[in-house]
A and B are shown apart, each in its own frame.
Chain A
Amino acid sequence: MKNVIVACGSGVATSQTVASKVKRILDENKIKANVEAVDIKSLNSYIKSADVYISITKGGKEYDIPMLNGIAFLTGMGIQEETEKLIQILKN
């Protein structure tokens, strides 16, 4: 099963909220994947096993896995586009 990582500063509010939204979207599209919210300090240890990284803050470190814009899943602005990219990545 593929792994989706969501990271924000604390893992308190934003990444948890985005993770639950992403889980719901994947369920609706009948795609099975693990979705995990982590705080940014522990990102490095999770990223190795991840297939896609949903990032809240711009300008962080670059990783060699696909990155998506987490704010879109939070506010709903641009969510369609990010959802399509996510589904593409997880289907391949």
Chain B
Amino acid sequence: MEFKSLFSSRLMKLNHPYPSREKLFEEVAQDLVTMDYVRDSYQDTLIQREYSFPTGLRTNYCNIAIPHTDAVHVKTPFIYLVQLQNELKFQNMGNASEELSVKLIFFLGITEPKNQTILLSTLMELFQTEEFSKIIFEEKDTKQLEKKLNTFLTGGN
């Protein structure tokens, strides 16, 4: 599984308005069910897990969230990216009593935890660079973003 092949314009919502976190989770889950990436059980377990184990994170340049759930609810590995028009509140993973305002959300679909740490570790390493954070924070067009990310992830080749 290659990391770069996981970013697809089909799995992106850019500059998208969501009135609430619940609405966001619901729409993304339904999208993923339709595209056959996840099982019907994904939505409920995703919401439940975010509630019990929040996934908001501070990175060098911006706050992000990485909602995910048990591998059994996922059929095919994916990263589904949502860039929000307006920030939503997520609890901080490291300290659940703290709320973070989040504009970028990466739904992680993991089917083999031991073998797919590359998903999250690559993502976190990329977020330590300003260039990557900027691209993903500012681009409004899904096709353009897919292209830019692929260029970035392959070192311009």
Q: Enumerate chain A interface residues (CB-CB to B < 8 A).
A: 8-14, 16-17, 19-21, 37, 56-59, 69-71, 74-77
Contact = CB atoms under 8 A, between A and B. Distances in A.
A21 B123 CA distance: 13
B52 A57 contact: no
15 contacts: A8-B53, A9-B49, A9-B53, A12-B69, A12-B70, A16-B113, A20-B121, A37-B113, A56-B93, A56-B94, A71-B94, A75-B60, A75-B128, A76-B124, A76-B125
A76 B64 CA distance: 14
B54 to A, nearest CB: 8
B78 interface: no
User: Most chain-B CB neighbours within 10 Å: which of A21, A56, A59, A77?
Assistant: A77
Contacts of B69: 10, 12
B124 A9 contact: no
Given A17-B124, A76-B60, A57 B96 contact: yes
Contacts, number: 74
A9 B58 contact: no
Interface of B: 49, 52-53, 57-60, 66, 68-71, 93-97, 108, 110, 113-114, 117, 119-121, 124-125, 127-128
A17 B121 contact: yes
A69 B94 CA distance: 8
Contacts of B121: 17, 20-21
Given A13-B117, A59-B97, A77-B59, 18 more contacts: A8-B53, A10-B49, A11-B113, A12-B68, A12-B71, A13-B108, A13-B110, A13-B120, A16-B114, A19-B117, A20-B117, A20-B121, A57-B94, A58-B94, A58-B95, A69-B94, A75-B124, A75-B127
A74 B121 CA distance: 7
Contacts of B95: 57-59
Contacts of B117: 13, 16-17, 19-20
A5 to B, nearest CB: 16
A53 to B, nearest CB: 14
